Structure 1
Amino acid sequence: MSEKFTTTNAGAPVASDQHSQTVGNDGVTTLTDHYLVEKLAQFNRERVPERVVHAKGGGAFGTFTVTNPEIANYTRAALFQPGVETEMLARFSSVAGESGSPDTWRDPRGFALKFYTSEGNYDLVGNNTPVFFIRDGIKFPDFIRSQKRLPGSHLRDNDMQWDFWTLQPESAHQVTWLMGERGLPRSWREMQGYGSHTYQWINAEGERFWVKYHFKSQQGVHGLSIDEAAQLAGSDGDHHIRDLYEHIEAGDFPRWDLKVQIMPYEDAKDYRFNPFDLTKVWPHGDYPLIDVGVMELNKNPENYFAQIEQATFAPSNFVPGIGASPDKMLMARIFSYADAHRYRVGTNHADLPVNAAKNADPHGHSYSKDGAMRYSFSSASTPVYAPNSTGGAHADAERAGDAGNWESDGEMVRAAATLHAEDDDFGQAGTMYREVFDDQQKAHILEQITGHVGAVKSDDIRERAIQYWTNVDADLGAKLRSNLEAAGAPEEAGEPGTGWEPAQV
């Protein structure tokens, strides 16, 4: 084995790894010790800003393989053609916690995927729930702030959470998911994944369809009890990161079956509720699941910072055959995610190896130019503007699939659409409670809600929370009121053993 010698970042030999350069008998350190300065300056800058949302997470590399050749009838996207295997990266995360927060706080889990397709990168950025708290991106900063920390005490606060939720009744469906067992998954391997939004697929003939993605865990779906989650938060805050890493290292590769719901394009116009509403699911009786393929994670990152922390996922990264829908949350995310990456990682984040496309021309023929840390570039004769008359790249709507377009027959408005008969906020949450939950799950969610709302100090917000759950289900609301009255004041409700968790959403 050849001997290795330390160098500076510029490749020059280093005199000492142990001692800085000094002058005189009293050992004054000199600024001419450029290696000392380089080490300290690099150390001060070795972090990038953590994600405002989804800060705590982990991930792995793997493959996605198409198993149903019939799926190509719905989309021309290269990664969904018969038998195609595509390299990919997955990142799982909590939503509200900071980068050092425990993995087992009650929270939705991010489920972000990057497919390195032959036509460029396709990013699918979802959660472990099929819905979300809000349906309009203009509310997103307010929602996240309500789940974070108070500006004065820097503590998380049940009043703040429930104040927002009860003033936004559209949150009821997602909060019902959150307060159930899906809010505390046992591991990332043992949870479902959803694209959540409605997307558009376009096939080779130009036919358009609306689609929802469902990733079904082959490991089963398992949750933690409140006590188990609390114990792990104290004993192993990185439980989910450790679990995924160790299973892959041992060759026990987690897998998910991808299934989709397909809605014919015209159905959306008069469906019984707005099919682009992120707070709603499509009943499987109306649009059954169709098999697509299998996702397998089989390779751990070699460097967490370079390959997971600097990985960037953006809903704006489409490929031919896949496009957006009139989902207002999706349209907001198409801007905000890519913009967050330009700030957090850098203008040229897409040049980093983990984010770079792997097709034949990984940087394509983009007219993006310069910016901090730019190192990929075309030849000097390549034009940097379009259109041009020198043989430079030009756009091709047919090749792109024209995926960003859909029909619009209305004026631009700020009010919510009222064209669908069942566009209420509590209906699907109530159906989930009454028809999906068994008796044990009903008991668990009542216990969880009792503890969480029991920590609310404001009488007005507490009363709104009771009405919130009464709107979901009258019997559930009545039981909640009875439990809260029996528990007494908020400071009494949080005694050890009651199972409540202080603001861990």
Structure 2
Amino acid sequence: MDKKQEQKTIGYEQSKQKQLDDFRVDDSGQKLTTNQGLRVSDDEHSLKAGERGPTIMEDFHFREKMTHFDHERIPERVVHARGYAAHGYFQVYEPMKEYTKAKFLQDPSVKTPVFVRFSTVAGSRGSGDTVRDARGFATKFYTEEGNYDLVGNNIPVFFIQDAIKFPDLVHSFKPEPHNEMPQASTAHDTFWDFVANNTESAHMIMWAMSDRAIPRSYRMMEGFGVHTFRFVNEEGKARFVKFHWKPVLGVHSLVWDEAQKLAGKDPDFHRRDLWEAIEMGNYPEFELGVQMIEEEDEFNFNFDILDPTKIWPEEMVPVQIIGKMTLNRNVDNVFAETEQVAFHPGHVVPGIDFSNDPLLQGRLFSYTDTQLTRLGGPNFHEIPINRPVCPFHNHQRDGMHRMTINRGPVAYHKNSLQGNDPSPASAEEGGYVHYQEKIDGRKVRRRSESFKDHYSQATLFWNSMSEVEQQHIIKAFRFELGKVKSKDIQQQVVDMFSNVDQYLAEQIAVGIGAKPPVNAKGSGVTLSSPALSQENTIKVPDTRKVAVLAENGFNDSEVNEVIDALKKAGVTAEIISSHLGMITSADGEQLEVTHTFLTSDSVLFDAVYVAGGQQSVDQLKGQKEAMNFIGEAFSHYKAIGAVGEGRELLAAANIPGIETAAQVTGKEVYSTSGVVFSRDAENMDAFNEAFIDAIAGHRHWMRKM
């Protein structure tokens, strides 16, 4: 890359940040003022008629301060209310000219600024991060042709096929209106009543009951555009396309017990994880992939490619990886950026167009309508986080919160007073031209016959799951339906899912006391898609967190070797002890404690390591909290490591096979079901390698619980 091109690339990557710099304010060292810039001499006392007299309306500072406070809140999003976001950039790997004329997908040297908001769907802004729910994954690309919003979820399909049913869906999963319960949960009657009476939801329900609905972190979940879009190239040739975000760290999830406990221990678990990873330089990375279908092949599948309740199986339509997104900067102000950002699937650029997906068509109206209410008027595009980096010119004027100062008398098209400026751009000048699709049909309120298959892909998903994942789905159904009060609704759901798989329906029925289905045939689908199982995902130790349990008298050399090895593998180690401050090793060396057993918990970590040293281990054995820490990590299938005397704590915590395995095998390093220990500190290299491999494994399902 020559110097001129390098400067262009750097400048373009930073263009959004430079634009935001005009609005950033540093209050440090400044004097307090009113919103009008008048310096304030006293911010402790309102103006009164005498020391004990009434407050005087003349107090303009009090009135301004209180009025602003009274109006600080804006309506939260109806869905996706609880979210967290970060800045970053996207780079395409190679020019996509053959498929699309979108400029941000042409030059591998250009870093396009992005802003990404992750979110839950059902809960209010104050709900917990780790509830069972779909997750939003919305990306705003600040391109040189205008903003492009890829508005997606972490699940590739949706509950409904037509947008007119969206209000009904949301009303069903929100808290029930007569008592406003339960919050951020679909485990109640109205949601499952909707499911049983709208069977197109079957496929989405399978995903929602799977581990995909309780991700380990935002950094470890896939994103999907859900809808079918079009790529259009310079020659006007179009292809159907679906978008995928593939996390570089792989796709990983929590276990249900862990997710529930985290909602109480740290309801900010996912947002904290994202914030801390970026602050530490562990920048989240996602590769952008596309599935493409030629227009002439539209009807060559046993499903309708426009049906938003269907996936395009990756084995049929491979995902082509075309670029990578890196999130490298946290927001400066959550309200100004994360809450005020406005996404819209209709914000596209030349080269990206829509299909006739009936859910997508309705969303194109809904998003604009929502932003008008939530952000107070039609000028939400002028809020700093929403402003494009390219210039924008039109004849739209006035309205609440107008920021742009347009000069001259003209605010209409066509005109002669201003030379007809701003005037439309031709296609050659970058003007957006809608794809010309021939339409021939009558206006009807119907759904295509090709949308009537509600069960085959739900069965495909079930067939694709490992035995462990299938058991998690069964338990999720039992939990959710176990909270449903209506026996009739429970039975309806059992009968409905007998169309997906008989064994699944039977197991649900047993768990909730319903009648097993009679003569259930399932959907008859025997195919599977390995790409759908998280057991087949990338497994690396990078950015994992390990709790190091230690007290005074720990083995200093051993602990330092483990921490150094973990750091080299990209793993963060944090010291957990009975008190904050410093702990002292048997050799007199000191180590700073990160958390206590009161301020931390095993659910906040990916693995646990018990330090050797007899004095340290003896103290830990006397603490119930330390025992619970180990036991809970084991029950959540996490990696556990110990060296020397450290394995005594594992034995005291009743971790199966610790003493027996060491005696029978006589190995210096022993590893089974994610539990790794060494009888002494003589072979630390082998221990560290085995422990890091166990951490990378994420969960060790072979344990008998």
Is the TM-score greater than 0.5?
yes
Matched-pair contact (CA < 8 Å) for 1:321–1:400 = no
Paired AA for residue 7 in structure 1? T
Match of 1:326 among 356, 361, 367: 356
Matched, 1:191 2:221: yes
| Structure-2 residue corresponding to 1:170 | 200
Report SS of the residue matched to 1:287. Answer: coil
Paired AA for residue 398 in structure 2? D
Matched, 1:300 2:327: no
Match of 2:161 among 135, 138, 149: 135
| Structure-1 residue corresponding to 2:480 | 452
Q: 1:342 to 1:482 in 2, by over 3 A?
A: same
Report SS of the residue matched to 2:399. Answer: coil
Could you tell me how far 1:160 is from its partner in structure 2? 0.7
Paired AA for residue 74 in structure 1? Y
Report SS of the residue matched to 2:245. Answer: strand
For 1:67-466, list aligned pairs within 5 A. Answer: 67-69=93-95, 71-83=96-108, 84-156=110-182, 158-269=188-299, 271-346=301-376, 347-359=378-390, 361=391, 364-381=392-409, 383-389=410-416, 390-396=419-425, 398=427, 399-403=430-434, 405-418=436-449, 420=450, 423-434=452-463, 436-466=464-494
Q: 1:267 to 1:400 in 2, by over 3 A?
A: farther
Matched-pair contact (CA < 8 Å) for 1:197–1:276 = yes
Report SS of the residue matched to 1:211. Answer: strand
Matched-pair contact (CA < 8 Å) for 1:321–1:403 = no
Matched-pair contact (CA < 8 Å) for 2:341–2:385 = yes
What are the superposed Cα offsets for residues 67-114 of structure 1, whole Å, 9 maximum, x if unpaired?
132x22110001111313200000000000000000011000000000
Paired AA for residue 460 in structure 2? T
Report SS of the residue matched to 1:293. Answer: strand
Q: 1:397 to 1:334 in 2, by over 3 A?
A: farther
Matched, 1:482 2:492: no
Matched, 1:55 2:81: yes
Matched-pair contact (CA < 8 Å) for 1:257–1:293 = yes
Could you tell me how far 1:262 is from its partner in structure 2? 0.5
What are the superposed Cα offsets for residues 295-332 of structure 1, whole Å, 9 maximum, x if unpaired?
11000000110011000101111111111110111111
What are the superposed Cα offsets for residues 7-33 of structure 1, whole Å, 9 maximum, x if unpaired?
110111212111111112523211111
Paired AA for residue 42 in structure 2? S
CA distance in 2, matches of 1:280, 1:335: 23
Give the % identical residues. Answer: 41
Q: 1:486 to 1:329 in 2, by over 3 A?
A: closer
Could you tell me how far 1:473 is from its partner in structure 2? 0.9
CA distance in 2, matches of 1:127, 1:41: 38
CA distance in 2, matches of 1:117, 1:268: 30
CA distance in 1, matches of 2:336, 2:432: 33
Matched-pair contact (CA < 8 Å) for 1:319–1:400 = no
Report SS of the residue matched to 1:164. Answer: helix
Q: 1:401 to 1:391 in 2, by over 3 A?
A: closer
TM-score using structure 2 length = 0.66
Paired AA for residue 441 in structure 2? G
Could you tell me how far 1:394 is from its partner in structure 2? 2.6
What are the superposed Cα offsets for residues 329-351 of structure 1, whole Å, 9 maximum, x if unpaired?
11111111111111101221100
Report SS of the residue matched to 1:73. Answer: coil
Could you tell me how far 1:150 is from its partner in structure 2? 1.5
What are the superposed Cα offsets for residues 224-268 of structure 1, whole Å, 9 maximum, x if unpaired?
111101110001111111000000001000000111001112222
CA distance in 2, matches of 1:2, 1:125: 37
Larger-Rg structure: 2
Which structure has more relative contact order (CA 8 Å, sep 6+)? It is 1
CA distance in 2, matches of 1:313, 1:483: 41
Match of 2:58 among 32, 54, 69: 32
What are the superposed Cα offsets for residues 16-71 of structure 1, whole Å, 9 maximum, x if unpaired?
111111112523211111001100000001111110100001010000000132x2
Q: Which moved more, 1:40-49 or 1:397-406?
A: 397-406
CA distance in 2, matches of 1:165, 1:326: 25
Structure 2: give runs of 5+ residues left out of the alignment. Answer: 1-26, 517-634, 636-705
Matched, 1:19 2:19: no
What are the superposed Cα offsets for residues 463-505 of structure 1, whole Å, 9 maximum, x if unpaired?
11101211111221122223323899xxxxxxxxxx9xxxxxx
Paired AA for residue 442 in structure 1? Q
Report SS of the residue matched to 1:197. Answer: coil
Could you tell me how far 1:273 is from its partner in structure 2? 2.1
Q: Which moved more, 1:341-350 or 1:245-254?
A: 341-350
What are the superposed Cα offsets for residues 396-417 of structure 1, whole Å, 9 maximum, x if unpaired?
4623342354222222221111
Paired AA for residue 474 in structure 2? L
CA distance in 2, matches of 1:120, 1:60: 20
CA distance in 2, matches of 1:3, 1:429: 60
Paired AA for residue 233 in structure 2? N
CA distance in 2, matches of 1:93, 1:484: 31
For 1:41-52, list aligned pairs within 5 A. Answer: 41-52=67-78
Paired AA for residue 177 in structure 1? W
Report SS of the residue matched to 1:243. Answer: helix
Matched-pair contact (CA < 8 Å) for 1:257–1:294 = yes
Paired AA for residue 72 in structure 1? K
CA distance in 2, matches of 1:374, 1:322: 29
| Structure-2 residue corresponding to 1:496 | none
Matched-pair contact (CA < 8 Å) for 1:202–1:403 = no
What are the superposed Cα offsets for residues 99-133 of structure 1, whole Å, 9 maximum, x if unpaired?
00000110000000000000000001100011010
Could you tell me how far 1:432 is from its partner in structure 2? 1.0
Could you tell me how far 1:6 is from its partner in structure 2? 1.3
Q: Which moved more, 1:395-404 or 1:52-61?
A: 395-404
Q: 1:179 to 1:113 in 2, by over 3 A?
A: same
CA distance in 1, matches of 2:28, 2:128: 43
Matched-pair contact (CA < 8 Å) for 1:108–1:127 = yes
CA distance in 2, matches of 1:278, 1:187: 25
Q: What is the root-mean-square deviation of aligned Cα atoms in Å?
A: 2.0
Paired AA for residue 37 in structure 1? R
Q: Which moved more, 1:11-20 or 1:228-237?
A: 11-20
Paired AA for residue 116 in structure 2? A
Matched-pair contact (CA < 8 Å) for 2:425–2:431 = yes
Q: 1:146 to 1:454 in 2, by over 3 A?
A: same
Q: Which moved more, 1:268-277 or 1:297-306?
A: 268-277
Could you tell me how far 1:454 is from its partner in structure 2? 2.0
CA distance in 2, matches of 1:437, 1:269: 28
Q: 1:29 to 1:452 in 2, by over 3 A?
A: same
Aligned residues: 482
Paired AA for residue 45 in structure 2? H
Matched-pair contact (CA < 8 Å) for 1:60–1:298 = yes
Report SS of the residue matched to 2:387. Answer: coil
CA distance in 2, matches of 1:455, 1:78: 50
CA distance in 2, matches of 1:415, 1:270: 23
Q: Which moved more, 1:282-291 or 1:404-413?
A: 404-413
TM-score using structure 1 length = 0.92
What are the superposed Cα offsets for residues 360-403 of structure 1, whole Å, 9 maximum, x if unpaired?
x1xx122211001112032215x311122333123346233423
